A and B are shown apart, each in its own frame.
Chain A
Amino acid sequence: MRSKLKTLAVALPALMAALSTAAAADPGITDKTIKIGMFAPLSGPNAAYGFDVANAAKMYYDKINKDGGINGRRIEYILEDDRCDANDLVAAVKKLVEQDQVFLLNGGSCSAATVAAKDFVVRNKIPLIMLNASGDGALYPPTDYIFGAFSISQYAVGGAMINFAEKTFGVKRLAYVNHDDAYGAWNLTGAKVDAAADKVDLAVESVSPTITDVTAPFLRLRASNPDALLIVTYARPAALLIKKAREMGFDKPIILSVTGTANLKQLAENVGGKGALKNLYIQDVLADAPGGPKIKWVYDMYKAAYPELAKEPDHPQTYMPYGVPSAEAIVRALKAAGPEPTREKFLAAMKQEDFDTHVMAGPVKFGPEERAANKSTVFMKYDGSSLQMLPGVYTTRWTYKN
């Protein structure tokens, strides 16, 4: 009897301790698995921004699982379609957190929609590691829970484009077209800082993403007699502007941001052929031209993971490699969080990250007050059929001031 009591006295505190650990443990993590909630635009007009990006992240997680997982745990992912719509995205996030009980979120390809999840994520203290959205609105001011801009921050895009135009063409006056929304405003803020630093005059036209007739903004910009035209819009307005430039005999350099390059082959068709692309430069964030030797491993991995999809036209989609860096960052932080990871340990590890993804032009680098992963960008010349990488890596002089 006494020995039974003794055993009970030893076992009870141990059991209680175990139970209390279990009760305190974060959702979505067991001895065998880590559950990650993913969301991206898998359908609808913005699927080009996320469908294959999500596939890239998935194939990276699959590779990690194949190699033995993270500290013995397999990654389980649940992927939801957010259609780049703020309502759909927030609904997907709530479902993943409340119903699926995920450990962390890895999603978001469109900035405005992704920023809409900020309040819910911060209130519930869920780690949100964006997929490829810039999401500047959720990164500045920094919170403990949201990390993004694995493709690039929009502040950095705006500034880097000015920087490139000034260094490459010695411009003094620039025409600049952005969107008349938050996305365009972040971009323009960075552009203004670098334009001031480089003493470049900026003529700005902000247009609706749904604009159908670009005659007015184009004429207003041409009237400022610019040395080059910078376009920081989505694919459709960008194509309309390039086409209008050709129609109106504008022969100065045109520099197009990466958001307008969702399908380069289609862009060449949409602008009316190669004639409109004689002086076109595109901004990109990859370490090499798509399919180039430095990032060939990503394309090879995609072909191995999705052999049927890879045979389909327009696959892999242009932005496919952008899905890898956020997955790499998550895996590294989970490893760094040790054999008993918690959300707190994971977030602490995320803040320490500083590594080369071997995919993007610049490293992933966070810090105590920095939640935007990448601020480096490269430029290529596109003539309608081939891409020629230009030397140099560009960034912005814009910095966040609290």
Chain B
Amino acid sequence: MTLSLFILFLEQGVASGLVMGSVYALLALAIVIIFKTSEAPNFAQGDMMMGAAYVALYLLVFRKAPPIVAIPLTIVVAFVVAALFRGLVLAKVAKSSGSPVNLVIATLGFSYVLRGLVRGAGVGDTPRTFPPLASTDSIMIDQASVTILDLVIFGAAILTMAGFFWMFAYTKLGRAMRAVGMNPKAAQLVGVNIGRIHMLVWGLSGVISAIAALLISPKILMTADMGSIVTLGFAAAIIGGFNSLPGAVVGGFVIGVSENLVGLFISSRAIVVAPFVAIMLVLIVRPQGLFGGRTSIKKV
């Protein structure tokens, strides 16, 4: 390999990796905010994203709604559906058993329902393009070629993450969410409505999924199975630390960049295993993840 090719691969790998990584980071963020407040991973996260993508497709393509209407409406639908699932289904499951395993099973059920709805609508089987929200013309950053859409994806993902960090750090609602995550009983004693906070967290997780869907759908083509990309969101959350919001973001970028660099410098066949090798390495060196807190053992 010549030096110029090495530099090209490196620059392109990092540029493309940061773009895809920003979407993985969003998904990881959505996973982590739910996990922190409910201690149950949401296995429907990918299909929440897929569902939001199809809502947007329906509005933009089939109903010909302008983006200024379709985008906010998609985000509202994602918020409401996710919050209602928490309020109407998960709350009952939690009340009846209290076991996180049952919550996980319920999220898996939600995932199947969403996929079934999309397939049942007859639009989920053919790979479909999603109208890009920005131009797909390429520009060069040194030797790396990226599209304007790529830059919009990266910028929008960073802005979304910054907005959520600000909300968690500086607003009363964010502080209430963190309190529920740290100690729900104490939060309840000081007047936090736990049920409402859980619904809001799920709703916000739906909003993040919808934004991820709007950003990534033009790049990966839509099918009812597109939610499987969430595997990389989980990988990102594990690498960053399952209870760390900044960790989720860093994990997303690590996965995105490592996928591309492994694909470019080693082999295309290795792309699918790269995230799992990264997880393995992190778990060996730092089992709690790069930004995770101390591991704790629960006595049962």
Contact = CB atoms under 8 A, between A and B. Distances in A.
Contacts of B129: 239, 266, 269-270, 272
Nearest to B127: A236
B128 A266 contact: yes
Interface stretch (B78-86, B102-110, B216-224): B216-224
Contact of B147 (A206, A210, A247): A247
B271 A208 contact: yes
B193 interface: no
Given A210-B228, A248-B145, A240 B268 contact: no
B272 A219 contact: no
A45 B227 CA distance: 14
Interface string B1-29: 00001001100110010001000000000
Interface string B131-165: 00000101000000101000000000000000000
A213 B228 CA distance: 14
A43 B126 CA distance: 11
A239 B125 contact: no
Given A206-B268, A220-B264, A247-B147, A215 B16 contact: yes
Given A48-B126, A247-B145, A247-B147, A206 B264 contact: no
Given A206-B268, A223-B5, A247-B147, A45 B223 contact: yes
Among A46, A180, A213, A220, chain B packs the most CB atoms within 10 A around the CB of: A213
Interface residues of B, number: 35
B260 interface: yes
B59 interface: no
Nearest to B16: A215
A351 B132 CA distance: 53
B138 A248 contact: yes
A204 B242 CA distance: 38
Contacts of A210: 225, 228, 272
A272 B218 CA distance: 10
B260 A213 contact: yes
A270 B221 contact: yes
Interface size class of A (residues with CB under 8 A): 35 or more
B259 interface: yes
A44 B119 contact: yes
Contact of A207 (B138, B221, B223, B268): B268
Contacts, number: 101
B61 to A, nearest CB: 10
Nearest to B266: A216
A180 B119 CA distance: 27
Contacts of A247: 136, 138, 145, 147
A263 interface: yes
Contacts of B128: 266, 269-270
B264 A219 contact: yes
Contacts of A240: 220-221
A272 B136 contact: yes
B271 A236 contact: no
Given A215-B12, A247-B145, A206 B269 contact: yes
A217 B263 contact: yes
A205 interface: yes
Among B20, B124, B220, chain A packs the most CB atoms within 10 A around the CB of: B220
A211 interface: yes
B268 A217 contact: yes
B94 interface: no
A239 B271 contact: no
B187 interface: no
A273 to B, nearest CB: 10
Among B124, B221, B272, chain A packs the most CB atoms within 10 A around the CB of: B221
A86 B87 CA distance: 38
Contacts of A272: 129, 136
Among B5, B145, B219, B271, chain A packs the most CB atoms within 10 A around the CB of: B271
Contact of B269 (A43, A47, A180, A212): A180
Interface in A229-264: 235-236, 239-240, 243, 247-249, 262-263
Closest 7 pairs (CB-CB, A-B): A216-B263, A217-B268, A236-B127, A215-B16, A212-B220, A270-B129, A205-B268
Given A45-B124, A180-B269, A247-B145, 12 more contacts: A43-B119, A210-B225, A211-B268, A212-B229, A213-B219, A213-B271, A216-B260, A216-B268, A219-B12, A219-B264, A223-B8, A262-B126
Interface of A: 43-48, 180, 205-208, 210-213, 215-217, 219-220, 223, 235-236, 239-240, 243, 247-249, 262-263, 266, 269-270, 272, 314
25 contacts: A45-B225, A205-B268, A206-B269, A207-B268, A207-B269, A208-B272, A210-B225, A213-B20, A213-B259, A215-B260, A217-B268, A217-B271, A219-B9, A220-B264, A235-B127, A239-B127, A243-B136, A247-B138, A248-B145, A249-B145, A266-B126, A270-B127, A270-B128, A272-B129, A272-B136
